[in-house]
Chains A and B, each alone.
Chain A
């Protein structure tokens, strides 16, 4: 107990030596709320559970690394699946809770939990057979731990080692969202009789994390960016990709919605889950990018778009995003195009 308290003091000192923005990031994860929300996200937790405990043949006698282990739930799944040993790493002081949890569940001899930055800790094993991680953030990449996973992959994963999950895809679709856009963005035009337009620009530049009704989706969804966890390099996460959205019906497009799918392809029976508007709620919800203009589209017409994403120079967990769009039609009155800048911070 006393030893643990000292650990906490050391951890707090380490935390305090970080940049302010980093400190804020790591500390915010200390609140139970976020862990409760993640654990209660059944789509997420159950997918990981299925991917791990239904594949005992893969995990048996393997050394597993859990990057960003949080409360230790994935580490415990891996231990239950027969792993020889699991190393859970997390920067947040939540790891002290995880230690208690692992102990209460009689898995202390199977799971080693290390508090610190992946890049700085001493690993008890030079190599691991499997990396498991739940690293995804809103819009897949916002505040994500992917860079840490890639570091762990390059430094510790054995040749032919496995990554759970190993594939992530970002999808985009156009949505009719007039009422909500009015409520969220138009709101600032008239706040109790006052013009609040300075805040409107800010509101437009902040992508909105919220649930989108499937009925609002006007175009076919398009996969715009796929990550192969075995191959991707950190610099690939600054990307630009062109794509087309084809209207399914005559309607208006006020915004683009983005979500992601996650796959565990190494499983005997592949496990995948989606965070899209067509499926069950997850705590990631979807991410909505409001366009300056409203597009009036007819069934079958294409909106040519491109999505540019790059980590912010100052705070790499923030994202700078640009969306360009152009609607080409025969009808000159409906032709429209533009480009919008967003910041997720």
Chain B
């Protein structure tokens, strides 16, 4: 293996014992990965090849680019080759022309080129499969041995001793090169942690504009770098894992249904730190594919490795729409895709995409159903603290700060006493069959006001999540998570509503603009009815625009629209 590496100058890997330990382990991991199928993506288009030489032959034939030729002409070492690969891939991605003749200057001292353009670029890991420089089998390293031998030969010593010595030297070098390779991987991970999305954003923007001109299926461009970037920080993952309502539900369902997972292939979309993938692996899944487009995936990889589950779980970085999975179909898709008011951040279409492309016809989605709820709110104290307060701030009127208070959805945890009427489930999504079109809708809703109503201050929206054990298990649209879980067998479901433990999703509060709204006569027993409409914001694809219509039953209705950004 080491012979294939060009000899490098002795840039020794001065890692501490600890690091070495870690690196060696990482190396072991690589060995295992090597037994897996490899798919090498072409440098110039999206054709995929089983090995690097085949791909490069294709590039030479079709695009006239001789990778090995350039490598040998410039005498590139391992890092050089990596830079060359990334230079080419980046140019292709940006739609920029390659230099007529690539010179050493193009690759000099540009550490950015060490960042893989293609996540998990198989070509980089297959560099040792390439033919060596020079003609025939003679590699640079053996040629150099000969030169050194010739020198040594001028002395008196027998050649055998020398050869033995050289052999030992070569072995040491081989080890060192292996170490360098793992060092490179580590360096890349660290660089990515630091720079992902920052340095590349400019490039992405450029790529975006160029790809919009050419409708060709160029490598797809991520137009939501910030969204993925915001998941790089550990705080959000800590918040999510420590949301016990959420994490317990997934754990309880997966561990209580080991028979569903045993021997199965599972896809985890948006795996984060890998917790759900590890639940599935522990529950007996034969294989878990953990996909995430955020740098947190590097932590997931470490977590999975530390828990000895790396033989079951494969981490793949990228958007689910772009990545190439090593399997055609999966048995189960598990995903924690829910956003504020259920649909904010719009990750569900990605789950649908994966479901339609990868899930077996009889496959299971975890969770399986989600329902959305609305209820009227009356909370004078909240209004005083958050709305009226601005009118007298240390003697000054700051009503300007109220802007948005009636046009933006406020994510907050409301006390259950703020709810002043019956809650209404306005939409139930069966995730096995739902379509993207079902996420934009206008539904009817109604409520009977309770004795908690003083004034109608606004509306509260939340969602419930259900984990059915089969595709055929139906969930009555009007059942709450609690009612469904309690009915019959032990079933898993959770709510993000105001009547149970708060979750990190909180609830969406929609305050009525009383300056504009007509006051309606409210009181215990009165019935309100209306519609609720979910739409996607024109200028912000992950944002929502939600309109609520309301009024007394059989009377005129009024409406107001709120944005969730």
Give residues in A with beta carbon < 8 Å to B: 20-21, 32, 35-36, 39, 45-46, 49, 71, 73, 76-77, 80, 97-98, 100-101, 104-105, 187, 191-199, 202-203, 206
Digitize B306-341: 1 where CB-to-A-CB distance is under 8 Å, 0 elsewhere. 110000000000000000000000000000000000
Given contacts A98-B400, A101-B401, A195-B303, 6 further A-B contacts (CB under 8 A): A100-B400, A191-B275, A194-B275, A195-B306, A197-B306, A206-B234
Would you call the interface of chain A mostly helix, strand, loop, or mixed?
helix
Which residues from chain B contact A46 at a C-beta distance below 8 Å? Answer: 394
Which residues from chain A contact B401 at a C-beta distance below 8 Å? Answer: 32, 35-36, 71, 97, 101
Instruction: Check B273 against A32 for contact (C-beta < 8 Å).
Output: no
Which residues from chain A contact B97 at a C-beta distance below 8 Å? Answer: none
Instruction: Check A202 against B198 for contact (C-beta < 8 Å).
Output: no
Interface presence of B146 (CB below 8 A): no
Which residues from chain B contact A76 at a C-beta distance below 8 Å? Answer: 396
Instruction: Check B303 against A196 for contact (C-beta < 8 Å).
Output: yes
Choice from B247, B273, B282, B403 contacting A196 with Cβ under 8 Å: B273
Give chain B nearest CB distance to A268 CB in angstroms. Answer: 20
A73-B299 CB under 8 A given contacts A97-B403, A194-B275, A196-B273: no
Digitize B377-406: 1 where CB-to-A-CB distance is under 8 Å, 0 elsewhere. 000000000100000011111111101100
Give residues in B with beta carbon < 8 Å to A: 197-198, 201, 234, 237-238, 241-242, 247, 251, 273, 275, 278-279, 282, 299, 302-303, 306-307, 386, 393-401, 403-404
**Bound Cα distance A146, B220 (Å):** 43
Instruction: Check A192 against B393 for contact (C-beta < 8 Å).
Output: no
Instruction: Check A194 against B400 for contact (C-beta < 8 Å).
Output: no
Give chain A nearest CB distance to B429 CB in angstroms. Answer: 27
Tally of A-B Cβ pairs under 8 angstroms: 77
Instruction: Check A39 against B306 for contact (C-beta < 8 Å).
Output: no
A71-B398 CB under 8 A given contacts A21-B198, A192-B279: yes
Chain B residue at smallest Cβ distance from A99: B400
Instruction: Check B198 against A20 for contact (C-beta < 8 Å).
Output: yes
**Bound Cα distance A35, B303 (Å):** 38
Return 23 A-B CB contacts under 8 Å, by A number: A20-B197, A20-B201, A39-B393, A45-B394, A46-B394, A49-B394, A97-B403, A101-B396, A104-B399, A105-B396, A105-B397, A187-B238, A192-B275, A194-B278, A194-B307, A195-B303, A195-B306, A197-B306, A198-B299, A198-B306, A199-B237, A199-B299, A206-B234
Instruction: Check B234 against A199 for contact (C-beta < 8 Å).
Output: yes
Which residues from chain B contact A187 at a C-beta distance below 8 Å? Answer: 238, 242
A198-B399 CB under 8 A given contacts A20-B198, A49-B394: no
Which residues from chain B contact A191 at a C-beta distance below 8 Å? Answer: 241, 273, 275
Instruction: Check A97 against B278 for contact (C-beta < 8 Å).
Output: no
Which residues from chain A contact B306 at a C-beta distance below 8 Å? Answer: 195-198
Give chain A nearest CB distance to B283 CB in angstroms. Answer: 12
**Bound Cα distance A39, B132 (Å):** 68
Which residues from chain B contact A192 at a C-beta distance below 8 Å? Answer: 241, 247, 251, 275, 279
**Bound Cα distance A153, B398 (Å):** 29
Which residues from chain B contact A104 at a C-beta distance below 8 Å? Answer: 397-400
**Nearest 5 pairs of A and B residues by beta carbon:** A100-B400, A198-B302, A195-B306, A97-B400, A101-B400
Which residues from chain A contact B198 at a C-beta distance below 8 Å? Answer: 20-21
Which residues from chain A contact B238 at a C-beta distance below 8 Å? Answer: 187, 199, 203
Which residues from chain B contact A20 at a C-beta distance below 8 Å? Answer: 197-198, 201
Which residues from chain B contact A105 at a C-beta distance below 8 Å? Answer: 396-397
**Bound Cα distance A196, B279 (Å):** 13
Give chain A nearest CB distance to B285 CB in angstroms. Answer: 15
Choice from A45, A77, A97, A202 contacting B234 with Cβ under 8 Å: A202
Which residues from chain A contact B242 at a C-beta distance below 8 Å? Answer: 187
Choice from B241, B282, B303, B404 contacting A193 with Cβ under 8 Å: B282
**Bound Cα distance A98, B401 (Å):** 9
Which residues from chain B contact A203 at a C-beta distance below 8 Å? Answer: 234, 238
Chain A residue at smallest Cβ distance from B390: A36
Give chain A nearest CB distance to B551 CB in angstroms. Answer: 30
Instruction: Check A195 against B307 for contact (C-beta < 8 Å).
Output: yes
Which residues from chain A contact B307 at a C-beta distance below 8 Å? Answer: 194-195
**Bound Cα distance A73, B397 (Å):** 10
Which residues from chain B contact A199 at a C-beta distance below 8 Å? Answer: 234, 237-238, 273, 299, 303
